[in-house]
Chain A
Amino acid sequence: MEQQARYAWFPGCWVSNRMPYIEAADRRVLDAFGIELVEMKGTSCCPEPYAVLGLGRDAWLGLAARNLSIAEEMKYHILTPCPGCYNTLKTANASLRTNPSQRQQGNDLLSKVGREFKGEIDVEHTISVLHNKIGLEKIASTVKHPLSGLRAATHYGCHLLKPSRVTGMGDPERPKFLDQLVEVTGAESVPYMRKTLCCGGPISSVDENVSYAIAREKLLKVKQAGGDCLVVACPACMIQYDTNQHSIEKTFSETYEIPVLYHTELLCLAMGMTFDEIGFHHQVKVDKVLEKIKISHA
């Protein structure tokens, strides 16, 4: 592959510590296009918007600035698989770059550990690199096993799209990039209602019932539209729709039976890997999906 680029890899706590198969899948896909991921040393949680930003903006700014400064030292842009980390780091980066008092505050905190934020690197997500830098054509050329017949309902999630002037991923009302990435695999993107609805995941530790009620709305609509599966691009959305699906079913005495696949998982399947090779663990069984796309487990 001609494209040679190096990024500082920021997997984020949820991917490394709970769903490392996301990291593996993203790495496989990025590797196929010659993207090299360099380990960042000493980084912490991005930090997380609920337990850190919600409790203290200054702490959030300081920890984010520290993570950014580590990448600056390495002289690489950051690439992260997690939309939450993407949103946090990109927002903090923009704030520190453009707001003089924020920058002052950030650097005051960094000075305590002998660091400085200079505003020299950018933040990317796997999808922004795939879609904008590699391009659909190149991706299409790696598809060996088209996933024809698969009716996938794409869920964009919130943090790649909004606030749109920070995230820079295009129109948040009717985004296209995830549908395009799914269709490049040969699957069909199924239209359904309330496509841009939030998964509700962030508040599951605050009020589970409300959180599940929000997730339920989407599961109902996907079921109504006749989707074979949900495709997500975020570990938190994955946990909400997959890991928690049975609990949601129980809470509302309903069944959805909607398998949830991850976007790079889908790409890896289309590139010809077997399901076990990719190594995802799903709570909701994906057998029907695999049958439809004629891919075996092993």
Chain B
Amino acid sequence: MDQDSGPGRIGVYVCHCGLNIAGTLDCESLAKYASTLPNVHVARDNRYMCADPGQALIKKDIKELGLNRVVVAACSPRMHEPTFRKCVSEAGLNPYLFEMANIREHCSWCHPHAGDLANEKARDLVASAVAKARHLTPLEEIEVGVEQRALVIGGGVSGIQAVLDLSDIGFEVYLVEREPSIGGRMAQLDKTFPTLDCSICILGPLMVDVSRRSNVKLLAYSEVERVDGYVGNFRVTVTRRPHYVDPSKCNACGECAKVCPVEVPNDFEVGLGWRKAIYTPFPQAVPSTYVLDDKSCLGLVPLACSKCREACDKSGAQAINYDARPDIVEFKVGTIIVATGYDLLDASAIREYGYGVYPNVMTCLELERMINAAGPTGGKIIRPSDGKTPKRVAFIQCVGSRDERWRGYCSGFCCMYTIKNAVLLKDHYPDLEIHIFYVDMRTTFKGYEEFYRRAREMGIKFIRGKPAEVSEDPTTSNLVVFSENQLTGKAMSLEAEIVVLSQSAVPRVGTDKLTRTLNIMTDGSGFLLEAHPKLKPIDTSTSGIFICGCAQGPKDIPFSVAQGSAAAARAARILSRDKWLIEPIVASVSRDLCIRGRDPKAGCQICITRCAFKAIGAEKEQPAMVNPAKCQGCGTCVAECPHNAITQMHFTDEQILSQIRELLRNEPEKKILAFLCNWCSYAGADLAGTSRFEYPPNVRTVRVMCSGRVDRDFLMAAFMMGAGMVLVSGCRLTELGNDCHYISGNVWAKKRVESLRRVLEGMGISGERLRLEWISAAEGQKFAELIRNMDDKLKTFGPSKIREENDRAKANLERMLRHTTPSPQVVSART
């Protein structure tokens, strides 16, 4: 059959979905109506289109009737678009010649009592889908090659797990770690909850394993400088800091450190201990080599000091070389996994607890190092002020967490690690009195509640109350904790010799820079943002880049390890193929229309600057060009191009304008035309339907991938065609953060809509008739309320006022549209 010969033969299939649709809408009549539409060759209704018989029906019609476009009126495309695309392609039809009309989530489920008006809406939605279908063109998925190699950034337990899994599957893996050794936070812990395994004992073998594998390239003391490219084809540039020690020659004898005259606070010991300028971070470090910290070294000038090199030469290893320089390494990978872990909030910022001022107030990690037998005190708990053994220790939870002044979120693992530290302390010092001040005890996972009980059985006391302040007795350096004990209902004070703070986990320093390097996003708290909070916790919105471990949010070790394996699996999906297919709903610049092509002097860079994915480039005096493999398909550049030179496949201006025309065909002044972004607002509208929130049936939806796609022309055309109200809705954009699936499409949408609103007001159209809202996928209730609200507003205007305003603006709109859009169809729109 001829797929490219134009709109020709459309098949329309109306699904009953049992009673989900048929219970409210008259599906038979709807199918009959569809058959009256131009270019519709056949229209049928059926109980369950997505089931085998329904699909078989479509395939049969394609083959026997020579259909070249298919429309299914049923549930939301977010549900079954992939199903039907597969179905038509099995019958030999290009999957992009398929369109859906959402008459369930957007109609039958949310307008159960609207009777005729619901049927009218369904007819309009079907007509709109058919109109778009007429303009669909076949598209081929874009094939890109795949470098079958992965990059993992961050060598903590989560990153290590990802590396080992990928290596086992058979892929080469680069592991880039900023510190001199891998191991991350877990290497700093003493024991892990709830099993009280020795942390470095269980981690150590994994670290060694990483270093022994022939297909793993460990780049420690290194950082990712630059990443170019796209899924399957990332070009990575890594800077390796000079060790000044040749790892292949260093045998970690430690003679150099013995003679080094410089002592600086030891980061690994969280500042509790010292290290030399030449050092190895901890005994089990991998790689096992010493490193010379050039920032603390006396100057790398042999005249100033060369004690370490002399000692090393004398020992025979001759590994030290002061002339080492940073090294640049470049390589290509198919996927990138980010596992950069967490830092802890600086507790001195929480002034009421006196950290940094009172010597005996410590942080959880400092205590962890103290308890550790290999730590700075050899495993003894001593008071920093006088070195004595304490008799009573108080722990304070939620320091900086669940606190709008610092971090609003719950830091996840502190309840458990405090119980663990308390249990360890009590085990070493049975007479030690321990009080834990908590707000809630969150002991959710396997064995955790039992562990909490064990702590209580050991005599550890739990007091519910968030302390208001810690005050120091200047004569003894003891601390007094002032809190309410809610369990007795009284305010109380408790004197302790040490106070330990559990402060909030925060994103690692350098996360910001990394997100810019990789073009991935962070959430409102600064942790790396997953593509979908429920179903895609490992993917990012950038194809080929995955996140795992605490970089994505605070979590305990089992969760981090699981995510590490998950990231490996997600990466392997791509790496295991020679070629990776990319959805072709990408942007494309017309070389003829692009001003840079028409006028060599034009320096227009608008599309280039709008693209958050750096997918558009232009040579000097050449038209702009979209790299389809990097293009994520938001359509923002399409809407922003002032010369209408860019189009988005499967969401062309023509297609969308034809949808608008159908949706506003009948009594447009009574309608609300809504442009909803696929990831958030359209999903939110779906949710409203799924939750059966009722709202007025006079809203007509147009699906776009991103609110950034909503062209001014669409909005002006809508008013020119007589629309009552227009809504543009996208992912949430607030002061706290931006949820846009395409990073910043909604920012451009906002600018565009707000400036157009002013222009429209100047033409006589009330500003309230053009609404800009942010509705997330979880806000079904909000969507329903919004439509109700808009409908109320529309009714107060009344149809005649709407018509009056639209008429007043018409001439201006026509003029503006004639100017910017070459398409005659819009200009000769309805009267």
- Chain A residues with a Cβ under 8 A of chain B: 171, 173-174, 191-196, 224-225
Contact = CB atoms under 8 A, between A and B. Distances in A.
Contacts of A193: 471-474, 480
Contacts of A171: 351
A193 B478 CA distance: 10
Contacts of A195: 471
A192 B471 CA distance: 9
Contacts of B472: 191, 193
Interface string B335-374: 0000000000000000110100100000000000000000
Could you say which of B351, B357, B473 has the most chain A C-beta atoms within 10 Å of its C-beta? B473
Nearest to A174: B351
B214 interface: no
A195 B482 CA distance: 13
A174 B357 contact: yes
Nearest to A225: B474
Which 10 A-B pairs have CB atoms at the shortest separation, nearest pair first? A173-B351, A191-B474, A193-B471, A173-B352, A193-B473, A194-B471, A171-B351, A174-B351, A225-B474, A193-B480
B488 interface: no
Interface of B: 351-352, 354, 357, 469, 471-475, 480
Nearest to B350: A173
Contacts of B480: 193
Nearest to A190: B474
Contacts of B352: 173
Could you say which of A174, A191, A193, A225 has the most chain B C-beta atoms within 10 Å of its C-beta? A193
Could you say which of B351, B471, B480 has the most chain A C-beta atoms within 10 Å of its C-beta? B471
B441 to A, nearest CB: 27
Contacts of A225: 474-475
A153 B474 CA distance: 13
Nearest to A224: B475
Nearest to B357: A174
A173 B469 contact: yes
A161 to B, nearest CB: 12
Contacts of A194: 471
A193 B469 CA distance: 11
A225 B472 CA distance: 12
Contacts of A192: 474
A214 B352 CA distance: 20
21 contacts: A171-B351, A173-B351, A173-B352, A173-B469, A174-B351, A174-B354, A174-B357, A191-B472, A191-B474, A192-B474, A193-B471, A193-B472, A193-B473, A193-B474, A193-B480, A194-B471, A195-B471, A196-B469, A224-B475, A225-B474, A225-B475
Given A193-B471, A225-B474, 19 more contacts: A171-B351, A173-B351, A173-B352, A173-B469, A174-B351, A174-B354, A174-B357, A191-B472, A191-B474, A192-B474, A193-B472, A193-B473, A193-B474, A193-B480, A194-B471, A195-B471, A196-B469, A224-B475, A225-B475
A35 to B, nearest CB: 32
Contacts of B473: 193
A174 B348 CA distance: 12
Nearest to A194: B471
B585 to A, nearest CB: 47
A113 to B, nearest CB: 40
A194 B354 CA distance: 12
Contacts of A173: 351-352, 469
Contacts of B474: 191-193, 225
B197 to A, nearest CB: 39
A117 B226 CA distance: 57
B359 to A, nearest CB: 13
A194 B471 CA distance: 6
Contacts of A224: 475
Contacts of B469: 173, 196
Nearest to A195: B471
Contacts of B351: 171, 173-174
B499 to A, nearest CB: 14
Nearest to A172: B351
Nearest to A197: B471
B284 to A, nearest CB: 40
A84 B707 CA distance: 53
A193 B472 CA distance: 6
A189 B618 CA distance: 68
A173 B482 CA distance: 14
A196 B354 CA distance: 13
A224 B351 CA distance: 24
Contacts of B475: 224-225
A50 to B, nearest CB: 22
B491 to A, nearest CB: 12
Nearest to A226: B475
A42 to B, nearest CB: 41
A277 B54 CA distance: 104
Contacts of B354: 174
A193 B495 CA distance: 12
A103 to B, nearest CB: 24
Nearest to B471: A193
Nearest to B493: A194
A285 to B, nearest CB: 26
A173 B351 CA distance: 6
A224 B478 CA distance: 14
Contacts of B357: 174
Nearest to B470: A173
A193 B475 CA distance: 10
A110 B458 CA distance: 66
A70 B471 CA distance: 43
A104 to B, nearest CB: 25
A67 to B, nearest CB: 32
Nearest to B478: A193
A171 B473 CA distance: 20
A248 to B, nearest CB: 20
A131 to B, nearest CB: 19
A196 B475 CA distance: 18
Contacts of B471: 193-195
Contacts of A196: 469
A10 B472 CA distance: 37
A209 to B, nearest CB: 17
A174 B471 CA distance: 10
A192 B474 CA distance: 6
A173 B361 CA distance: 16
A173 B475 CA distance: 20
Contacts of A191: 472, 474
A167 to B, nearest CB: 16
A196 B357 CA distance: 15
A224 B473 CA distance: 10
A114 to B, nearest CB: 39
Could you say which of B354, B474, B475, B480 has the most chain A C-beta atoms within 10 Å of its C-beta? B474
Nearest to B472: A193
A292 B352 CA distance: 34
B497 to A, nearest CB: 15
A192 B352 CA distance: 15
A225 B473 CA distance: 9
A152 to B, nearest CB: 14
Nearest to B482: A194
A193 to B, nearest CB: 5
A170 to B, nearest CB: 11
A195 B473 CA distance: 11
A87 B473 CA distance: 30
A11 to B, nearest CB: 33
